[in-house]
Amino acid sequence: MNPLLDYQFQLNRRQFFGNVGLRVGGVALAMLAAKQASGRATASSVRVHPAQPGLPHFAPKAKNVIYLHMNGGPSQIDLWDYKPGLQAQFDKDLPESIRNGQRITTMTSGQGRLPVAPSMFKFTQAGKSGHWISELLSHHAEIADEIALVKTVHTNAINHDPACTFVMTGSEVPGKPSLGSWLSYGLGSENNDLPAFVVLTPTWSSKANAQALFTRMWNSGFLPTKHTGVALRSGSDPVLYLQNPPGVDSADRRVMLDALGKLNQRGFERFGDPEIQTRIAQYEMAFRMQSSVPDLVDLKGETKSTLEMYGEDVTKPGSYAASVLLARRMIERGVRSVQILHRGWDQHGDLPREIRAQCKDIDQPTAALIKDLKQRGLLNDTLVVWGGEFGRTVYSQGKLTKEDYGRDHHPRNFCMWMAGGGIKGGVSYGETDDFSYNVAQNPVHINDLNATLLHCLGVDHSRFTFKSQGLDQRLTGVEEAQVVKSLLA
Amino acid sequence: MSKFPKFFCVFSFAYFLVVVPCVEAVKLSTNPVSFNRDIRPILSDNCFACHGFDAKKRKGGFRLDEPEGAFTPNKDGNMAIIPGKPEKSEMWKRITTKDPDESMPPAESHKKLTAEQKQLIKRWITEGANYQKHWAFEAPKPPLVPKVSSPKASIQNPIDNFVAARLKKEGLRSSPQADPATLIRRVAFDLTGLPPTPGEVEQFLADKSADAYESMVQRYLDSSKYGEQMAKHWLDVARYADTHGLHLDNERQMWAYRDWVVKAFNKNLSFSDFTTFQLAGDLLPSPTAEQLTATGFNRCNVTTGEGGAIDAEFIFRYAVERTATTVQAWMGLTAGCAVCHDHKFDPISQREFYSFYAFFHSSADPAMDGNSLRTAPLTQLKTPEDDKRLQEMDAAIKDSEGKFNGVLASVVYQDPATKNPPPAPREDEVIWLDDEGPAGWKTQTPPNFVTAENGKVFSGKRAIRRQAADVEQDVFDSDTASLSIPASSKLFAYVYLEAANPPKAVMLQFLLENWEHRAVWGDIDAIGWGEKDKPSRARVGDLPKPGGWVRLEVDPEKVGLKPSDKLKGIAYTIHGGTVYWDKAGVVGRVDPVNDSTHSLVAWTKQYEGKEPKELPENLRSIFKNTSSTNRSPEQVTQLRNYFLSKVCVEFKPSFDPLNSALAEAKKKREEYNEAITQTFIWRDLDKPRESFVMLRGAYDRPGEKVTRNVPAIFPPLANTTNATRLDLASWLLNPQNPMTSRVAVNRFWQQFFGIGLVKTADDFGSQGEPPSHPELLDWLALSFRDSGWDVKGFVKLLVTSATYRQSSQVTPSLLARDPENRLLARGSRFRLDAEQIRDNVLYVSGLLETTMGGKGVRTYQPPNIWEPVGFVGSNTRDYKQDTGSALYRRSLYSFFKRTAPPPFMTSFDAPNREQICTRRERSNTPLQALQLMNDVQHYEAARALAERMLSEGGATAKDRLVFAYKTVLSRAPSAQELVIVSQALDSHLIRYQADPEAAKKAITFGESKARGNLNVTELAAYTLAANLVLNLDETVTRN
């Protein structure tokens, strides 16, 4: 072999994979075949995209994350934060002692009064843990003991755009990397044929105008752009540009790539630029993705009982049910983080009807995801997070009857839950006041929650930094964040 | 004219005559320690957060960022540093102690000093602990151009002296000049964003004159594509995009700013004007449209229109963003830290930040952008053609008004109320809609008017024909008309149902406050609006008999209307069938004496003391503020004129056409005027806002009041009382300002060499990297400034240096020694930018459409980029791809939606333009590979290139492949390369011969059609060969 080449390998600053990239074709294909047979990628020695040196900081409990983001801000009062005492307060004004002069949005600040709207939904206790769960999430009763519920999450922002940006990037101002990008950067990828960070944006059932998503919610910000989340799409091109053009098949591509590899190799011999080697490797990975991604999204191999567990929507491409099943399949294949953004939770009016439709989308599939991960032994390795960008007010926005009300944005306390690797199932953490309007005990800021999440993955959030604009930037921001120990197993 | 050549003369003279032996490079360890080079980075990283500029966070009373602090005892009498005596210095004790409670930096900071760093600190203290101001805050001093004894070819201008001197010190040598084909491709991409054509390459190779290289450079500098290439970089700094960026992320119209940037570079606007126009163009005396457009720089920030958002919060945020962007763009500093607290690393206090912010805090734009295309302040950009058209339209309006006034003057009117004897009440028909609708009428879709020649007409010259599959409507409404309903009246209209194709139902609908007034003939369930059998859907009768004109009549009461109601519109609706409509109105018993549509007295009486909203403003105020007894003659005339021309039934036939013509002429002008491009500009509020230090950066916690000023570490503003943005701009451009020129030249350097002399182009503060060649940076900064900020001259200086012209070939040992090429012992080689990658394939395939400027175009984009993320009500939710030549415009002109930018940009590291970006990443990913292979834009270009290969490339496969290489890579393939590509081509040929169907498909991807005269199989195989060439690493790399 060319001595210059050999030497280059030692130096390759992007640490690409051993010498697979060089032997274009044969070896790469063989590797793919081997991986498919064994299911899960293991050998870290050939990782295309390894962890940063020193990471994880300590032995991780979880290796992967599935983040279920309920976009728009689900009502904690109608789902998780059980307040039976509110029934007696129906249509009474929210006491000033509770509101305490806190800012409210301009959507309700002009409203004459702020009448209390108790939830119209029944709550029952579930599992050994005895979590109170709304009838809207009846399937969640089966996973109650896996869930660590946090009732006192709070955030800085009161409107969607900044709040979504904050919950995903730790900053209200656009430009910071998202959680999944941080993980891709820090912990690398366990799979050479799939991206480390995948995003799904399923369909939703609410009829009201849904809030927008922003690609900055999965953007890499100041981190290298290869850590940007890859949006997995329903339809024939699950990853952008995956399909060959019409009239071009995989064999044609192979011929073209073999020639391309040889020609690029000659370029490398001429110029000695290690980027050329990286490019050769990336074309090979692209080729492998052309088969690994269709394999990933093909549900033919799933058993009938599995499909039934996820519910009838699971066969509808692009549904939430199909998305969580895909999330499980990705975790099996070593994808580091999967982010599912389910829209339609912004219920300013007509809340009871809208939230029913939304819960129907997610209830059974979410419970199925946890059970399915568990039965496959994956739940120990996987952290599942559920929540929105903020909660909703106890007072009604607009018309209030027993069966019809709306709720405005409420950043001061809302509910999120975590389950899986590193998490103590069945815990309920934090208490709110009788109106679910203020934190009464044990507040958990979004930055604390993210610190806890990183902790489960073996990462000390305070040491997990990247230098940008002269600062050691981190996901959890400037102010000190705390790992919430009570949530940990 | 560039002022740079004078430097060349002076210095080249120097190299010829003076050959001074270079001093042996001195080993670093014997060099005295330099605070800025060696110590400040260590302290900044490890100590300043607690022992630096931020007084509030300072611990233990120790301050290490300046000598006054370090050499002063704290309250316990300890001194951080005693110069010359490390052992007695508290700092040294703390960094070397074994006691974990005493040890610095503390364990919880996760910072740690290495043994070498500790030794450096010790040496520095021993040598006297000499402090220096941070290098970037000292004004650049003219450095001596080093004298070097290098061969002539490797010294083209003083840049090379600095680089060569450094290389010599490092024991390295520069690389030889790259071969000419590589050079011209490098220059062409760097200056125009496109490769050279084979003709340009040949011309350059054939030019044996001494200034061949310089003339080649000059040709590209003179090309209008130069401005497009330069603008691309600045638009990242300016965070330019075509949408607002937050929440709905609707479209905004400010592409004129983007075009201004292109023009500014092309006409070589000096960097000083470039600065002043953008920061303060509105404050220049009688600013031109160009200067106003330039102020769009600080209107490019993201804005919101989100319901519920709090105004004060966003006014604050915009001002912070604009301040931080300005500081970073011109001064290379990260001011954002000082929003919440004093900067920990750089000497910018929170108070100073807000003093700077005060320059930008009084922008006249609103907190909420209204989600509208245009958010004021704006400027309209009229072309001479626009002026001409507007004058013509003004003349047309004047003409209509003249006719109108003529008729008005000739009217003879006697109020029936004053007649003796008064006229008796009578049955009267008032027509609302015949050949014309009510004055100022609008339609949702233009009605299909027919004449007797092509349809049925009942009255006048025309009628309306409507053929429907389902429910369809003709709607007429008007803001100015008020069709008044007389007593005991009936509403009527004439209709003709085609016998061969009758509808299920016909309906008349009336607009009062709303359209909930419907009269139906025929199937009451056919048209589902309103509530059945209520005024909102009342059944009046059976379907009229087809084959003849029928008069439909309905009692107003039946559809919820009453006498003296004033209608604003009427609609004809059918369900299925073919129908003609003609003449609609009202017939009723009219008493001219008391009827407001006959008697001026009666009309006036109903409004006395009121503010009737159906009347124009001037009349409303007359009725509100005067009574019939105290009106001036002018006011009386105004009322009379309005009544006669708009209300009085007697003169309706005369005035209706005049009113319509005038309204039409005005509407036409308004529409034309509205369609003229506008662009966002900066203007201050008439009364500036007061600015305060905002405690902890909270928008609702104002602290101390501040006035406009600049940080004290820099030279002062010339004028500190009521300083304006114009003062700020001159301050930035003041020769004493240490930042502006350095930051600008470093960004240009980065653009042409891949990495800046200061690698952290966005941070010249103490957390940034110090320059690799400090003297060169200062020399460049001073040259640029002294040239009168001549940008083209400066660019030419860079690209004509021998340093720039070096070959990029690298040996393993050099690569190991200097992987990032910071020492510049070789030429740079890097992947093309996103825009260049796309423009390149369009250009070499002959598809590129070179039209410059204008509204952003919507190029090829895969489905579901915008849709899955877009807000349902956003006007940028559904991507509607353009067709034709718009698909092939330069990437600079593609529509950029911030919350879902085009994948061809983001996959290749373009920022999403939500905030300033001074430095793009250059990643290398599998998604890029997929895109270059399979994206329709790239694949279609491969087919177009294949067509060129077959039509222009010669008769043999070899000739055609050579043609492709020359077109794409500016060089012929080597024999081995030719073999590899030919083999691939052959196997594609065999495959497509065996499967002609696949071949057919393989040439149909994309909107453009393949030339019909080419053999399909051959074209398919060549398309894949072209696809191969376009995917080469060399193709996407500027070398």
Is the Cβ–Cβ distance between B870 and B891 less than 8 Å?
Answer: no
Q: Give the residue with greater pLDDT, B527 vs B21.
A: B527
Is the Cβ–Cβ distance between B384 and B343 less than 8 Å?
Answer: no
Nearest CA in chain B to A263: B977
B507 to chain A, any CB pair closer than 8 A? The answer is no
Structural domain ending residue among the three candidates B116, B131, B146: B131
Within a domain: B703: no
Residue A18 confidence (pLDDT): 32
Nearest CA in chain B to A257: B1028
pLDDT at residue B9 greater than cutoff 70: no
> For B706-715, what is the mean pLDDT?
94
Distance from CA of B334 to the nearest CA of A (A): 6
- Size of the A and B interface in Cβ pairs below 8 Å: 249
Q: For residues A432 and A152, what is the distance between their CA atoms, to the nearest angstrom?
A: 7
Could you count the other beta carbons within 10 Å of the beta carbon of residue A84?
11
Residue B150 confidence (pLDDT): 74
The CA-based dihedral angle spanning residues B81, B86, B87, B92, taken in that order and rounded to the nearest 10 degrees: 70
Question: Which of B310, B871, B929 lies closest to A211 in CB terms?
Answer: B871
Question: Which of B321, B1004, B1024 lies closest to A256 in CB terms?
Answer: B1024
**pLDDT per position as a tens digit, B99-133:** 888 888 888 888 888 888 898 899 999 988 888 88
Q: For residues B1020 and A247, what is the distance between their CA atoms, to the nearest angstrom?
A: 9
B983 to chain A, any CB pair closer than 8 A? The answer is yes
Within a domain: B945: yes
Residue numbers in A near B808 (CB within 8 A): 271, 273
Nearest CA in chain A to B999: A247
B930 to chain A, any CB pair closer than 8 A? The answer is yes
Within a domain: B192: no
Residue B4 confidence (pLDDT): 53
CB B974 to CB A266 under 8 A?
Answer: yes
CB B925 to CB A225 under 8 A?
Answer: yes
pLDDT at residue B172 greater than cutoff 50: yes
Spell out the domain ranges in chain A. 1-38+246-302, 50-234+317-487
> For B351-365, what is the mean pLDDT?
96
- The amino acid sitting at A431 is E
Residue B614 confidence (pLDDT): 78
Distance from CA of B108 to the nearest CA of A (A): 9
**pLDDT per position as a tens digit, B722-746:** 899 999 999 999 999 999 999 999 9
Nearest CA in chain B to A467: B767
Distance from CA of B914 to the nearest CA of A (A): 6
Is the Cβ–Cβ distance between B784 and B796 less than 8 Å?
Answer: no
Annotate B992-1001 with b (16+ C-beta within 10 A) or e (fewer). beebeebbbb
Within a domain: B615: yes
Within a domain: B999: yes
Which range marks the domain in which residue B611 is found? Answer: 415-425+591-647
Nearest CA in chain B to A288: B926
Q: Are residues B656 and B643 in the same domain?
A: no
pLDDT at residue B161 greater than cutoff 50: yes
Number of structural domains (chain B) is 5
Within a domain: B110: yes
Closest CA to B482 of B624, B668, B666, B619: B619
Distance from CA of A154 to the nearest CA of B (A): 17
> For B786-811, what is the mean pLDDT?
97
Chain B, 752 to 811: residues with Cβ < 8 Å from chain A are 760, 762-763, 765-768, 808-811
B831 to chain A, any CB pair closer than 8 A? The answer is yes
Chain B, 76 to 135: residues with Cβ < 8 Å from chain A are 110
Residue A471 confidence (pLDDT): 75
pLDDT at residue B774 greater than cutoff 70: yes
Q: Are residues B597 and B667 in the same domain?
A: no
Residue B726 confidence (pLDDT): 97
Q: Give the residue with greater pLDDT, B774 vs B339.
A: B774
Cis peptide before B377, with omega less than 30 degrees from 0? yes
Distance from CA of A314 to the nearest CA of B (A): 19
Question: Which of B766, B1005, B1039 lies closest to A246 in CB terms?
Answer: B1005
**pLDDT per position as a tens digit, B957-992:** 999 999 999 999 999 999 999 999 999 999 999 999
> For B791-808, what is the mean pLDDT?
98
Q: Are residues B43 and B113 in the same domain?
A: yes
Residue A35 confidence (pLDDT): 39
Residue B14 confidence (pLDDT): 33
Residue B6 confidence (pLDDT): 41
Q: Please state which CATH number belongs to domain A50-234+317-487.
A: 3.40.720
Residue A168 confidence (pLDDT): 95
Backbone angles phi, psi at A84, to 5 degrees: -60, -30
Q: Are residues B641 and B531 in the same domain?
A: no
Distance from CA of A98 to the nearest CA of B (A): 21
B345 to chain A, any CB pair closer than 8 A? The answer is yes
Within a domain: B30: no
Residue A238: partners with Cβ closer than 8 Å, 6 or more residues away: A232, A293, A294, A296, A297
Q: Are residues B401 and B498 in the same domain?
A: no
Question: Which of A103, A195, A209 lies closest to B871 in CB terms?
Answer: A209
Residue numbers in B near A247 (CB within 8 A): 998-1005, 1020
Question: Which of B869, B914, B974 lies closest to A212 in CB terms?
Answer: B869
Residue B12 confidence (pLDDT): 34
CB A252 to CB B765 under 8 A?
Answer: no
Nearest CA in chain B to A159: B309
Distance from CA of B164 to the nearest CA of A (A): 22
pLDDT at residue B18 greater than cutoff 60: no
Nearest CA in chain B to A463: B110
Residue B2 confidence (pLDDT): 45
Q: Give the residue with greater pLDDT, A90 vs B340.
A: A90
pLDDT (tens, 9 = 90+) of chain A, 489 residues, equals: 343 444 344 433 333 333 333 323 333 333 333 333 333 333 334 566 789 999 999 999 999 999 999 999 999 999 999 999 999 999 999 998 998 888 888 777 778 789 999 999 999 999 999 999 999 999 999 999 999 999 999 998 888 888 999 999 999 888 899 999 999 999 998 888 888 999 999 999 987 777 888 888 998 888 877 888 988 887 778 999 999 999 999 999 999 999 999 999 999 999 999 889 889 988 998 999 999 999 999 999 999 999 999 999 999 988 999 999 999 999 999 999 999 999 999 999 899 999 999 999 999 999 999 999 999 999 999 999 999 999 999 999 988 999 999 999 999 999 999 999 999 999 999 999 999 999 999 999 999 999 999 999 999 999 999 987 667 889 998 888 999 999 999
Q: Are residues B51 and B90 in the same domain?
A: yes
Distance from CA of B895 to the nearest CA of A (A): 16
Question: Which of A235, A244, A409 lies closest to B308 in CB terms?
Answer: A409
Q: For residues A416 and A153, what is the distance between their CA atoms, to the nearest angstrom?
A: 7
Structural domain ending residue among the three candidates B86, B102, B131: B131
Helices and strands: H and E segment counts in chain B: 35, 17
Annotate B775-803 with b (16+ C-beta within 10 A) or e (fewer). bbbbbbbbbbbbbebbbbbbbbbbbbbbb
Closest CA to B116 of B45, B42, B64, B65: B42
Closest CA to B979 of A263, A33, A344: A263
pLDDT at residue B684 greater than cutoff 90: yes
Mutate: best of B331, B925, B1031, partner A, most A CBs <10 A: B925
Nearest CA in chain B to A249: B998
Residue A439 confidence (pLDDT): 96
Question: Which of A11, A211, A245 lies closest to B934 in CB terms?
Answer: A245
Nearest CA in chain B to A248: B1002
Residue B195 confidence (pLDDT): 98
Confidence at B428, pLDDT banded by 50, 70, 90: confident
Q: For residues B887 and B842, what is the distance between their CA atoms, to the nearest angstrom?
A: 10
Residue B70 confidence (pLDDT): 84
Structural domain ending residue among the three candidates B86, B112, B131: B131
Chain B, 400 to 419: residues with Cβ < 8 Å from chain A are none
Residue numbers in A near B246 (CB within 8 A): 161
Q: Are residues B498 and B636 in the same domain?
A: no
Within a domain: B114: yes
DSSP class of residue B176 equals P
Distance from CA of A10 to the nearest CA of B (A): 10
Q: Are residues B619 and B557 in the same domain?
A: no
Confidence at B77, pLDDT banded by 50, 70, 90: confident
Residue A6: partners with Cβ closer than 8 Å, 6 or more residues away: none
pTM exceeds 0.90: no
Is the Cβ–Cβ distance between A458 and A56 less than 8 Å?
Answer: yes
Interface pTM (ipTM) of the complex? 0.79
